[in-house]
Structure 1
Amino acid sequence: MNSKDIAKIAGVSRSTVSRVINNYPNVPPETKEKVLKVIKEYNYVPHASARMLRGKRSETIGIVIVDLKRDIHKIYDNVYFGPFTTAVIDFANQLGYKVLVITVYKVKDYKKVREVFYNKTIDGAIFIGIKNDDPDIKDLIEAGFKIAVVDQEIRDDEEDPFNKSIIVNMDNVNGAYEATKYLIGLGHTEIAHITGDMEKLSGFARLEGYKKALKEAGIPFKSRLVVKGDFVEESGYKAAYKLFKKAKPTAIFASNDQMAIGAMQALEEMGYKVPEDVSIIGFDDITISRYLKPALTTMSASLLQMAELAVVNLIKSIEEELGITAKFVVPVKLVERESCKRLNISKEKEDTEYAISMRR
């Protein structure tokens, strides 16, 4: 479908459709409403050609927070989205740009995202919370819009639409590898993993890093020690209960701090002490982690740096009218606190030998 088809359905001229798309002021409100209704109904995405992009910029970028699996109110409790959004607003303001915050709770909500691109309310957008290979974002990129995405797989495939966007990631694989390696260095071999959302890069990449560390250390991977979570505290809480019904690991690597906190609560209820009985390490280094009792050992990456990379490169792409295809991986570092303990190998051996003798 093209603008000619839209014009025919709406009963207007093709030039009127163009004026609506480009948000010209000389279009009667009722005509504009009629054309936009047809555009929405037929899911029409105008190609962002040079003709379309011509004209004054809005000097506004969007930050699109995608949270398809939550109740609406849960997004305000998210300790990851909040700091990142604040940082985006701050960096954009410093560069003379305003920020429009848009939330997507259901797939149909992407219509409002397309609309703010169509009418040039925004010049570009940063997407956070997306699942890997999100088809709706692919469509926007292929339409020629300026897009930055956080937590998206980087591939060598030149045909991948995301190669036409700005991608900013944490070093998920190496961060998870270092977290698991740290526990192995403390003498742990029965190390459980609570995964994140496996539709997201950070979910499956951190599982990959966990497996990599085990393999390197010669520790067999055990599927019973892996329990699925989805990056929220409640899922970590439920995962810990599920885990300890079938196994007794001496350590847990949770794919983010929120799930680690949920797991710590469950462990306390089950009568286990952290780190005396079970060591636990998280990922993200959210503010509350340092104030827990015991304070949470975690892997830290700078959300400020990620926000700055996304904002600066997106605005550069807008102002220089370039199709910037930048790929960034922000390093992750270990923050040692109080939630992990070196395993007393000799005591463990004594306990094992005693248990064996009791069975004879």
Structure 2
Amino acid sequence: MSETESDAKGKLESILDSRTLGGLILTHPTENSDLIDILEDSDLPFVVLGRPKREVIYVDNDNVEVGELATDHLISHGHGRVAFLSGPSKFTYTEDRLKGYRSALEANGLPYDEELVWNSELVESAAYEVVKEKAKKFDFSGIFVAGDVQAVGAVHALRDLGKQVPDDVSLVSVCNSELTKHFEPSITTVDLHEYWLGNWAANRLIQEIEGGERDRPKVVVPGDLIVRESCGCKAENGD
């Protein structure tokens, strides 16, 4: 219901004052957000969508596993130099996917090079600028991108530098949004199963409202690799 946390804080306080809601799902609060504090001080049942850095009820993916899946797939194609275009550091999934990236490198006997780890906002233009700048300086043959929209910016940046995906650089992204099927090349991505994230969050909230199950503070939805063309594979049947 809000684009920014400052907007959300004002709306949340207004809602709590009016007592018009029976419960609330809070999506991806940042590390320094005080929204959870406000909710905990109220008597409103709530569930967080996205792992917070505190003990509250939440639903999320195993984002360490997400990072491992994406990076390991690129390594399986023979890429020894895999870059990682991450998202803003204020989100816990950014930290977790970096852990997964590093874990996959270590498991495959590859060194971690912080010069190949970059951050951008979760928009195409920001990803484009970062990849265009970094790809001029550093050599890599695979790139793990933290989001599908960023992946589009990364592909355009590489093209403008004369590098084609997947011929020159293999790419794996995260989310499995609709655009990944129709982009050229189609984008290999880790499906976060957003429908089930929302479904589980709603179900857990209903349990909270009804005073039900309280011994399961978190629900973890696994991700699945959806193989398409951007990594150098043929798209899987039906996709």
Q: Residue 48 of structure 2 is aligned with which of 149, 155, 160?
A: 149
Please list every run of 5 or more consecutive structure 2 residues that lacks an aligned counterpart in the other structure.
Answer: 234-239
| Distance in 1 between residues matched to 2:213 and 2:108, nearest whole Å | 46
Shift of 1:218: 1.3
Q: Which residue of 2 is the match for residue 177 of structure 1?
A: 68
Q: Distance in 1 between matches of 2:198 and 2:6?
A: 25
Aligned in 2, Cα 1:115/1:214: closer, same or farther, shift over 3 Å?
A: same
* Alpha-carbon distance between aligned partners in 1 of 2:221 and 2:57, rounded to the nearest angstrom: 13
2:128/2:154 contact within 8 Å kept: yes
CA RMSD of superposed structures (Å)? 1.9
For the structure 1 residues 329 and 321, does the alpha-carbon distance in structure 2 shift closer, same or farther, using more than 3 Å as the test?
closer
Partner of 2:136: 245
Q: Sort the Cα spacing of 1:190 and 1:169 in 2 relative to 1 into closer, same or farther, 3 A.
A: same
What amino acid is aligned across from residue 185 of structure 1 in structure 2? S
Farther-moved stretch of structure 1 (102-111 vs 184-193): 102-111
SS in 2 for 1:261: helix
Question: What is the CA-CA distance between 1:341 and the residue it aligns to?
Answer: 2.5
**Matched residues, number:** 233
Distance 2:61 2:203 in 1: 17
Quote the Cα distance in structure 1 between the aligned partners of 2:39 and 2:102: 35
Match of 2:89 in 1: 198
Q: Match of 1:132, SS?
A: coil
Distance apart, 1:301 and its partner CA: 1.8
Identity of aligned residues (%): 28
For 1:28-50, what per-residue CA distance to the aligned partner results, in whole angstroms no more than 9, with x for missing partners? xxxxxxxxxxxxxxxxxxxxxxx
Worse-superposed segment, 287-296 or 124-133: 124-133
Largest Rg, 1 or 2: 1
Aligned-pair distance for 1:278? 0.6
Report deviation, 1:234: 1.8
1:107 aligned residue: 6
Q: Which 4+ stretches in 1 moved above 3 angstroms? A: 320-325
- 1:121 aligns to what? 20
Q: Would you say 1:212 and 2:103 are equivalent positions?
A: yes
Give the match for residue 279 of structure 1: 170
Does structure 1 residue 131 correspond to structure 2 residue 22?
no
Please state how far the C-alpha of 1:216 moved relative to its aligned partner. Answer: 1.2
Unaligned runs of 5+ in 1: 1-101, 155-159, 343-360
| Per-residue deviation, 1:174 | 0.4
1:229 aligns with 2:120: yes
Structure 2 length normalisation: TM-score? 0.91
SS of the aligned residue for 1:248 comes to: coil
After TM superposition, give the deviation of residue 292 of structure 1 in Å: 1.0
SS across alignment from 1:180: helix
- Looking at structure 1, the residues matched to 43 and 15 of structure 2 have their Cα atoms a distance apart, in angstroms, of 14
171-180 or 110-119: which moved more? 110-119
Distance 1:323 1:333, change over 3 A: closer
Confirm or deny: 8 A CA contact 1:254 1:280 kept in the other structure: yes
Is 1:319–2:210 an aligned residue pair?
yes
Distance, in Å, in 2 between the alignment partners of 1:225 and 1:305 is 33
* CA deviation map 1:176-231 (0-9, x unaligned): 11110111111001100001111101111111100111111111111111111122
Q: Is the 8 A contact 1:132 1:152 kept in 2?
A: no
**What is the deviation of 1:166?**
2.4
2:194 to 290, 300, 303: 303
Shift of 1:127: 1.2
Quick check: 2:66–2:223 contact (8 Å CA) kept in 1?
yes
Looking at secondary structure, tell me which structure has more helix per residue. Answer: 1
Task: Provide the secondary structure at the position in 2 that maps to 1:103.
Answer: coil
Are 2:24 and 2:47, in contact at CA under 8 Å, matched by a contact in 1?
yes
Q: Residue 211 of structure 1: SS of its match in structure 2?
A: helix
CA shift, 1:323, in A, is 6.0
Give me the whole-angstrom Cα distance separating, in 1, the residues matched to 2:166 and 2:207.
47
> Which stretch shifts more, 290-299 or 105-114?
105-114
Q: Aligned-pair distance for 1:321?
A: 7.2
